[in-house]
Amino acid sequence: MIASTQKSAIMFGNTAAKEKVMVHSPRSNDSWSPTSWTTKNTIIQEVQYKDPKVLQDVCNTIANLPPLITPEEIEAARSQFAEAAPGKSFVLQGGDCAESFHDVRPHIVNQKIRLLEEQSHILSQGLNRPVATVGRIAGQYAKPRSSLWETLPDGTEVPTFRGHNVNGPELSERQPDPHRLLLGYFHSQATLNLMRGPDALSTPPMGLFPSTPAGGEEGVTKRANGGTIYTSHEALHLPLESSSTDGRYNTSASFIWIGERTRQLDGGHVEYGRGLRNPIGIKVGPTMTGETLVELLNCICPNAQDQDHIDRITIITRFGADKVETVLPPLIQAVHKSGHRPLWMCDPCHGNTCTASSGHKTRHISSILREATTYYRVHRENGSTLGGLHLEQTGEFVTECVDGSDMGSEEKLGTNYRSLCDPRLSYLQGLTVVRGFVDFAQHIDAKYQAAAGNSI
């Protein structure tokens, strides 16, 4: 239900900004606000600007611009995620590690959408479930980094490139510039315009065979969830996220997530995320324990049965192919015992990043597929459901991941390596992973169905 319009003031530093339309009002005993994260001592990956007043002015401007996503769209996404948690549907999330302002061009955006559509079609047909399609798109312009400084060969230290919302990859562009946040808003809006336009699927994919639809004769016919592709990005830059918050809705994306590096229990990112109505992802790496994961869920969802919290959380696991069998089962068991019923999603990309002899960061398709299929099997073995797949990919014919083919060999990585950060699956590699995952899931499901039939 949409509540009446209500305005209040929010603060970044010492300057007030208007908050946009209040939709779901905070509960009377809840101290959360879009800027309550500023009271936390732990704010990891915070960007340091030369002039905080300029940041404040930019955030004020963004706060008064139209929302990129409406509360109604966010509630629709939440309903789709709710169906996937118990296995009634499936969520596919895919897109760039870090989007580039320079890639907001019709043919590039259309190819990303085409890949997502084709993958969703394969998943829907193969798993016999509806598929909610989510892009890492229209806002994934900031990235957490392991080090905030880069040392040049001469010993000089410069700020690390942290995504186009923060700074540029060239050495002359490394100083964080708050005006880039405004550029990010308009590039996100332009991307959404392309996604929603009538020509969104009018161009063929840029792959090995650009004149042939990647799905064979059927190609891409219609969207698996009735025409909607939801947007998502990591909620990393908290001043920006607060400026995009309308009451309890982050109106810059349908789905946001808190990263592995910023999920501290006492941190600003968890504080910000806990008050939102948006479906929220939590990235979980191999060092996570069941106890800490339950604490994190309790922090974001203090009452798992409260209507404001049910169906809201997605756990996005990213372990590495060799660690799934040992790390995942105790997490599943701890979460189930806690009473929380989140959507479990597998990110088989991040834990399988390595460095090739050429110096390029890369990922092997065999490891990605092995991690995804192991997740599916381990969830089945533990009475749980894997409800989603999270892939870093692009619709272009890039050479960033290794797949065993001639053009996908380590020797060819430099041929068309365009990623701003981590390596992405190419169009054909993205299809290969999804098809392999579906084939395995069908095999496992058939075994369980046969076992159930024999026990009758």
How high is the pLDDT of residue 200?
57
Q: Which segments of 259-385 are extended strands (E)?
A: 280-284, 313-317, 343-346, 353-355, 361-363
Does 97 belong to an annotated binding site? yes
pLDDT at residue 409, as a whole number? 87
Strand partners, 136: 95, 232
Whether residue 283 is annotated as binding a ligand: the answer is: yes
Token readout for 223 is 């969207």
Q: Residue range 258-275: average pLDDT?
A: 97
Q: What is the pLDDT of residue 19?
A: 37
Q: How far apart are CA 102 and CA 110, in angstroms?
A: 14
Give me the phi and psi of 123, to 5 degrees please.
Answer: -65, -45
Tell me: is residue 136 an annotated ligand-binding position.
Answer: yes
CA–CA gap between residue 336 and residue 311 (Å, rounded):
14
Asked whether residue 221 carries a pLDDT value surpassing 50, the answer given is: no
Q: Judge whether residue 215 has pLDDT over 50.
A: no
Say if residue 109's pLDDT is above 80: yes
Share of the chain above pLDDT 90, in %: 79
153 CB burial (10 A radius; 0-12, 13-18, 19+): exposed
425 pairs with which residues across the strands?
Answer: 393
Q: Which of 64-68, 150-154, 175-179, 220-224 has the lowest mean pLDDT?
A: 220-224
Q: What is the pLDDT of residue 450?
A: 87
Query: pTM of the predicted model, to two decimals?
Result: 0.89
Question: 30 labelled as ligand-binding?
Answer: no
Give the per-residue SS3 of 39-68.
HCCECCCCCCCCCHHHHHHHHHHHHCCCCC
- Residue 309 is predicted with a pLDDT of 63
When the pLDDT of each residue in the chain is averaged and rounded to a whole number, the result is 88
Average pLDDT value for residue range 8-36: 52
Under the banding of pLDDT at 50, 70 and 90, the label for residue 307 is: low
Over residues 308-322, the mean pLDDT reads 89
Cα–Cα distance for residue pair 380/58, rounded to 1 Å: 48
How far is residue 253's CA from residue 276's CA, in Å, rounded to a whole number?
12
The answer to whether residue 41 scores a pLDDT higher than 60 is yes
Q: Which residues contact 136 (CB under 8 A, 6 or more apart)?
A: 93, 94, 95, 96, 97, 99, 232, 233, 392
Q: Is 350 annotated for ligand binding?
A: yes
First to last CA, the chain: 46
Spatial contact of 286 and 319, defined as CB atoms under 8 Å apart: yes
Q: Where are the domains of the chain?
A: 9-22+35-449
- The length of the chain in residues reads 456
The string of pLDDT tens digits covering residues 138-149 is 999 999 998 999
**Per the CATH hierarchy, to which homologous superfamily does domain 9-22+35-449 belong?**
Aldolase class I (3.20.20.70)
Please state which of the ranges 38-47, 168-177, 209-218, 300-309 shows the lowest mean pLDDT. 209-218
Place of tokens 């504080």: 271
Confirm or deny that 422 is annotated as ligand binding.
yes
75 CB-near residues (< 8 Å, 6+ apart): 277
Residue 224 has pLDDT above 50, yes or no: no
